[in-house]
């Protein structure tokens, strides 16, 4: 049998160059697509994280208002004590909401905003006679392109012992 070497075959160079060029172009395109998608995912994750920190700031502000703010001066009654001292039906209907917009950062970009709500609905999984205070904060961050990212955080505080709490968060 005769052995035919590939280099001796006529007309093999052009298909081989086309095959190699196709492989290089395809590999480059795949790598570019992977880098682009990874970058977009990282940007979205960063914006959601900024919205999450806006929401967590709202939770801290709502908790501070719940535990330290006084109502009806000169009496020093915290909102938590007020919730505990009014009838349960009235506490269920008492919703307090505040919106806070953070000042722009040093580069002039928006630092976000938060909507804080204090309420006392029936906490899922508990007896309707138990009073739990819900502090809910929805943090929002708008990027330079105008795309909105929102994250909600909810913290439930036991009215009998505010050191007992449960936290949950969702990306909206």
Q: What is the DSSP letter of 129?
A: T
State the pLDDT at residue 36: 96
Calpha distance 110→51 (Å, rounded): 11
Mean pLDDT of all residues in 26-54: 93
Pairing assessment for the beta strands 96-101 and 77-78 based on DSSP bridges: unpaired
pLDDT band at 5 (very low <50, low <70, confident <90, very high): low
pLDDT band at 56 (very low <50, low <70, confident <90, very high): very high
133 pLDDT above the threshold of 80: yes
SS3 112: coil
Calpha distance 49→139 (Å, rounded): 10
Supply φ then ψ for residue 111, to 5 degrees.
-95, -5
91 pLDDT above the threshold of 60: yes
Mean pLDDT of all residues in 121-130: 87
Mean pLDDT of all residues in 26-44: 95
First to last CA, the chain: 72
SS3 146: coil
State the pLDDT at residue 74: 55
State the pLDDT at residue 35: 96
* Pair 140, 149: CB distance under 8 Å: yes
Mean pLDDT of all residues in 129-151: 89
State the pLDDT at residue 22: 94
Q: What is the DSSP secondary-structure string of 131-145?
A: -EEEEEEEEEEE-TT
Mean pLDDT of all residues in 56-76: 77
Question: Tokens for 18?
Answer: 């086309």
């Amino acid at each position: 049998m005769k052995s035919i070497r590939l280099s001796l075959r006529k007309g093999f160079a052009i298909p081989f160059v086309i095959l190699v060029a196709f492989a290089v172009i395809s590999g480059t395109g795949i790598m570019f697509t992977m880098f682009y998608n990874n970058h977009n995912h990282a940007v979205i994750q960063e914006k959601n994280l900024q919205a999450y920190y806006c929401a967590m700031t709202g939770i801290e502000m709502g908790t501070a208002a719940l535990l330290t703010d006084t109502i009806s001066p000169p009496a020093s009654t915290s909102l938590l004590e007020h919730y505990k001292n009014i009838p349960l039906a009235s506490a269920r209907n008492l919703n307090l909401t505040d919106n806070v917009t953070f000042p722009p950062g040093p580069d002039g970009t928006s630092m976000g905003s938060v909507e804080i709500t204090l309420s006392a609905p029936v906490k899922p999984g508990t007896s309707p006679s138990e009073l739990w205070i819900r502090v809910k904060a929805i943090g929002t961050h708008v990027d330079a392109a105008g795309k909105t990212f929102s994250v909600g955080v909810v913290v439930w505080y036991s009215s009998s012992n505010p050191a007992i709490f449960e936290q949950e968060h969702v990306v909206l």
